[in-house]
């Protein structure tokens, strides 16, 4: 894997989409990390006004009599947030719908894993969408410390746009994919095919819907959990069919329903109550789970919206919304190749709370299997079986609950980031640096106050004291400095290579502090005495390993055991649709494609 990863490292390509004006590109000088310079070719075809769409849009350019190359009528990208690859191995015997169909009819890549350290939602979706490493697409975390503004920013926060809620609901802020420094596969598909393509994405999370769509789309829609509103923003427009659907099917209609077990109790793998699991406000510790908000509530409240998003009802809603998009826009019937992206977020909320060894995550997948079965059946009817291609993966995996892991006798726990900060501040006290020394700790990234880190680089004794302070924190395994991650020093350390692939100088921390395996990080102000639930975000295999499944047009059924990554999804879809990506960090999974007969 190390050799494969290093061969993919390239000179950094920077695209500025901040103002959504004319895109331009510049090549930075190759640093020592790019010792093998990769020639990047971006072939951009002229097109008409490609972003002007109506629900029944047709090609805006004139057509020629020459035959066009065969390609699918619809590309469907599905991301199941926090779906570990071993869920397919463990639970597929319980499935009878869409997940089962993907395994039985599709190409199943059983050794797929992210090669980088920042296994988070925004990073994973951007990687799937662009086919590039975080060090190239720039989405290095769900949020990071902005050194210029001296505050945390989310990966999709955009001060130049305003969010708009459907059905007269309220929302706030502004979100877009402007911080993503490369175009998405969906954008390239629309641009390079002359504008006939419609791009539509849905998720509960803005950072999922927006990164799958790219910088512009016909519809990118997400959910505001604080108000229960479905939301979009300026670059993505509002669509009449979404307005109508949300009015006719409000989330509040699920108030009073109950999430009950889908299978006989004897068919579940683990203990009924997951050891070390957290709780959801208004719920007990075990099934069934009523969607009635806080105790005593008589109408939807914020607790109800949390319950709804942590249940199969949210997955079903997204599926019905996607089916409505297919019908209302005539996806797959535009004369081009349309794109539908769906990210199912509820598995992440359930996984964080109940962990991977729980009845709750098992039951969520049973429900998702049914929903995907309904979706694929709908596509068979409306687009035609064999006329669309599906790619399913996940943005990251998840760690076992630390206290559950401790039962095995293995070392597991939680690194207190407040304790880590205290140790770092104390370590530098003898050197009389201005306080505070630490500007922010965000996950594994430590940002020092400016210009302290530059001074430390010229003070070996102070730097050693700082690193020793970090390594003395319980649960810390390794510490990497920014200059180490930037210079591409040849190393056999998988962890360091993974951190390098996640490093983007202006957004990443001055130090990358890696916890031990099966340890999490806790960013609360004082550190929790007891920690429930679990997390992700490390270069360990339980966070990196995810499923990759393709099905439909051009796909060769089978099980494949080559080591692959989700970076390979976009290039593979590009090969099926004749699209060239800006950066080719991934590869075409040719072993899973049907071979065309020579003419």
Query: Residues of CATH 3.30.1360.150 domain(s) within the chain?
Result: 411-531
d(CA 42, CA 464): 45
Name residues whose C-beta falls within 8 Å of residue 313's C-beta, 6 or more positions apart in sequence: 254, 257, 259, 291
- So what's the pLDDT on residue 526? 63
Are the C-beta atoms of 389 and 185 separated by less than 8 Å? Answer: no
Are the C-beta atoms of 219 and 236 separated by less than 8 Å? Answer: yes
Say if domain 411-531 classifies as CATH 3.30.56.10.
no
Are the C-beta atoms of 34 and 11 separated by less than 8 Å? Answer: yes
Of the pLDDT bands very low, low, confident and very high (cuts 50, 70, 90), residue 48 is: very low
Q: What is the dihedral of CA 378, 382, 386, 388, to 10 degrees?
A: -80
| Mean of pLDDT over the chain | 89
Q: Specify the CATH number of the domain 71-401+547-592.
A: 3.40.720.10
Query: Residues of CATH 3.40.720.10 domain(s) within the chain?
Result: 71-401+547-592
d(CA 372, CA 156): 28
> Looking at residues 556-568, what average pLDDT do you find?
98
Are the C-beta atoms of 7 and 167 separated by less than 8 Å? Answer: no
pLDDT (tens digit, 9 = 90+) per residue, 2-23? 444 444 444 333 334 333 333 3
Rounded (to 5) percent helix, strand, coil in the chain: 35, 15, 50
Are the C-beta atoms of 295 and 326 separated by less than 8 Å? Answer: no
Q: Phi, psi at residue 145, to the nearest 5°?
A: -85, 120
Does this model's pTM top 0.85? My answer is: yes
- So what's the pLDDT on residue 226? 87
Are the C-beta atoms of 210 and 240 separated by less than 8 Å? Answer: no
pLDDT (tens digit, 9 = 90+) per residue, 564-586? 999 999 999 999 999 999 998 99
pLDDT (tens digit, 9 = 90+) per residue, 300-336? 999 999 999 999 999 999 999 999 999 999 999 988 8
Does pLDDT of 28 surpass 90? no
- So what's the pLDDT on residue 130? 98
> Looking at residues 389-414, what average pLDDT do you find?
97
% of residues, the chain, pLDDT over 90? 83
pLDDT (tens digit, 9 = 90+) per residue, 181-191? 999 999 999 99
Does pLDDT of 35 surpass 50? no
């Amino acid at each position: 894997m190390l050799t494969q990863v290093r061969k993919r490292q390239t000179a950094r390509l920077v695209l500025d989409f901040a103002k959504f004006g004319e895109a331009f590109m510049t090549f930075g000088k190759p640093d020592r990390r790019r010792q093998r310079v990769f020639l990047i070719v971006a072939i951009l075809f002229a097109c008409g006004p490609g972003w002007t769409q109506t629900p029944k849009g047709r090609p805006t350019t004139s057509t020629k009599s020459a035959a066009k190359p065969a390609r699918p009528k619809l590309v469907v990208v599905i991301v199941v947030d926090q779906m570990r690859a071993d869920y397919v191995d463990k639970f597929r015997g319980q499935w009878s719908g869409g997940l089962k169909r993907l395994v039985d009819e599709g190409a199943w890549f059983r050794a797929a894993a992210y090669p980088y350290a920042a296994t988070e939602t925004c990073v994973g979706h951007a990687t799937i969408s662009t086919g590039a490493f975080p060090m190239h697409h720039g989405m290095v975390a769900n949020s990071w410390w902005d050194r210029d503004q001296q505050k945390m920013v989310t990966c999709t926060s955009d001060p130049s746009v305003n969010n708009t809620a459907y059905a007269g609901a309220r929302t706030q802020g502004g979100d877009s994919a402007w911080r993503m420094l490369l175009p998405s596969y969906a954008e390239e598909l629309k641009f390079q095919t002359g504008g006939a393509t419609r791009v539509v994405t849905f998720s509960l999370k803005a950072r999922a819907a927006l990164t799958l769509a790219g910088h512009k789309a016909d519809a990118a829609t997400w959910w505001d959990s604080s108000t229960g509103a479905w939301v979009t923003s300026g670059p993505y427009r509002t669509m009449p069919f979404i307005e109508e659907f949300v009015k006719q099917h409000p989330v509040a209609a699920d108030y009073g329903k109950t999430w009950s077990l889908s299978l006989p109790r004897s068919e579940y793998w683990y203990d009924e109550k997951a050891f070390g699991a957290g709780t959801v406000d208004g719920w007990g510790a075990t099934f069934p789970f009523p969607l009635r908000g806080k105790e005593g509530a008589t109408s939807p409240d914020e607790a109800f919206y949390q319950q709804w998003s942590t249940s199969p009802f949210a997955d079903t809603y997204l599926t019905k919304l996607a089916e409505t998009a297919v019908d209302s826009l005539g996806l797959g019937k535009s004369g081009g190749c349309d794109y539908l992206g769906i990210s199912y977020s509820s598995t992440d909320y359930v996984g964080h709370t109940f962990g991977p060894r729980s009845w709750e995550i098992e039951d969520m997948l049973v429900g998702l299997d049914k929903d995907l079965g309904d979706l694929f059946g709908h596509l068979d009817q409306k687009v035609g079986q064999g006329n669309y291609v599906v790619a399913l993966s996940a943005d990251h995996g998840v760690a076992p609950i630390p206290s559950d892991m401790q039962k095995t006798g293995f070392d597991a726990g939680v690194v207190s980031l407040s304790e880590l900060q205290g140790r770092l501040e104390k370590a530098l006290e003898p050197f009389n640096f201005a306080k505070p020394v630490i500007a922010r700790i965000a996950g594994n990234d430590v940002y020092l106050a400016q210009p302290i880190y530059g001074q430390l680089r010229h003070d070996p004794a102070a730097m050693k004291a700082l690193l020793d302070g970090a390594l003395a924190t319980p649960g810390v395994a390794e510490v990497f400095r920014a200059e180490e991650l930037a210079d591409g020093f040849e190393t056999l350390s998988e962890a360091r290579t993974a951190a390098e692939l996640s490093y983007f100088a202006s957004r990443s921390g001055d130090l990358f502090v890696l916890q031990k395996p099966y340890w999490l990080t806790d960013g609360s102000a004082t550190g929790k005495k007891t920690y429930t639930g679990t997390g992700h975000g490390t270069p360990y295999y339980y966070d990196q390993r995810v499923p990759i499944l393709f099905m439909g047009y051009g796909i060769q059924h089978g099980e494949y055991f080559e080591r692959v990554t989700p970076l390979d999804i976009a290039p593979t879809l590009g090969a099926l649709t004749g699209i060239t990506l800006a950066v080719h960090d991934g590869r075409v999974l040719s072993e899973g494609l049907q071979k065309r007969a020579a003419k």
